[in-house]
């Protein structure tokens, strides 16, 4: 599984989504301009889909973190990350947009930012930045436009989600006891935001055993994510391992050589599983095995 993350302290602490590294047997992180290095898992908050990793690298630049309480609808934001690294390569990508709404989590009081900046598999765990170059959220999910269109006849566009960074403060203070919020006043251009953050936004590759991949499902019995964000899909988690299929199908529909099968899966590269919440279908991207009638396909 591949995802994104960002440096939160110069001694090598990195924040990302928990689902990016869940059940990983080995985690590798690439900081722009450096060689890939192994990372260790430091701490997690599974309910909020957050994890902190550490790498043995010095002289890293931490991104400034602002309070997400100040974020308002129609604020400008920038998403950084590594979308579709197996297909597009590992160059850092940026997308700008607006905060469209502040949504309440269905099963908790936790909020999510709805944003229209582009989000794709591999963006999970990347920073959501304000126009001061400060982190105000962590990219986590996107709506399943294809499934929604099939069910409702219209195609929603650019409906994506980020976890407000304030949700991570308790976790941050576990590793940074003297953590303080940034309060920059200077407004930056989009290019300046990108330049200031690009060296601190990292690519994460999490190797997982096949059994771990196949068992990664979000059910009510899987308490780590269900109570917080089970209705939203992970925006990260695409892989390009040998033998995997490098194409996309519509969520839970498997097409090959003109044949159709309805599937549920914990993901093969390019295949997507979906859950329906309040009439809206959401797609989770992950890497693993897909099943038809309980059999691997």
**Active centre residues (catalytic):** 19, 49, 124
| Terminal alpha carbon distance of the chain | 19
Query: Which among 203, 287, 294, 216 is positioned nearest to 246, based on CA atoms?
Result: 287
Radius of gyration (C-alpha) of the chain in whole angstroms: 18
Contacts of 191 (CB under 8 A, 6+ apart): none
Residue 239 CA to residue 244 CA, distance in Å, equals 8
Give, as one character, the DSSP assignment of residue 231.
T
CA 141-147-151 angle, to 5 degrees, is 135
d(CA 173, CA 11): 15
Residue 42: CB atoms within 10 Å: 15
> Which residue in this structure is represented by tokens 């997400």?
68
d(CA 65, CA 179): 9
């Amino acid at each position: 599984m591949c995802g994104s993350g960002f440096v939160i302290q110069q001694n090598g602490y990195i924040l990302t989504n928990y689902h990016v590294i869940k059940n990983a047997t080995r985690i590798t992180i690439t900081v722009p301009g450096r060689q890939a290095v192994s990372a260790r898992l430091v701490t997690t908050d599974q309910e909020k889909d957050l994890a902190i990793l550490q790498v043995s690298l010095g002289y890293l630049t931490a991104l400034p973190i602002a309070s997400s309480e100040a974020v308002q609808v129609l604020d400008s934001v920038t998403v950084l990350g590594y979308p579709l690294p197996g297909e597009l390569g590992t160059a850092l990508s940026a997308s700008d947009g607006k905060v469209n709404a502040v949504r309440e989590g269905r099963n908790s009081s936790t909020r999510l930012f709805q944003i229209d900046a582009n989000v794709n598999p591999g963006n999970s765990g990347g920073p959501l930045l304000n126009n001061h170059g400060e982190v105000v959220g962590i990219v986590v999910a996107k709506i399943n436009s294809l499934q929604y269109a099939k069910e409702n006849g219209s195609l929603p566009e650019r409906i994506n989600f980020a976890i407000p960074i304030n949700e991570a403060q308790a976790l941050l203070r576990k590793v940074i006891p003297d953590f303080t919020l940034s309060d920059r006043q200077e407004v930056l251009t989009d290019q300046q935001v990108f330049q200031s953050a690009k060296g601190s936004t990292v690519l994460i590759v999490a190797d997982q055993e096949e059994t771990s991949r196949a068992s990664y499902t979000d059910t009510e019995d899987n308490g780590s994510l269900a109570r917080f964000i089970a209705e939203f899909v992970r925006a990260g988690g695409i892989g390009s391992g040998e033998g995997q299929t490098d194409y996309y199908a519509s969520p839970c529909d498997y097409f090959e050589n003109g044949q159709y099968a309805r599937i549920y899966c914990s993901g093969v590269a390019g295949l997507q599983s979906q859950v329906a919440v309040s009439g809206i279908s959401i797609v989770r991207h992950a890497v693993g095995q897909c099943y038809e009638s309980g059999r691997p396909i």
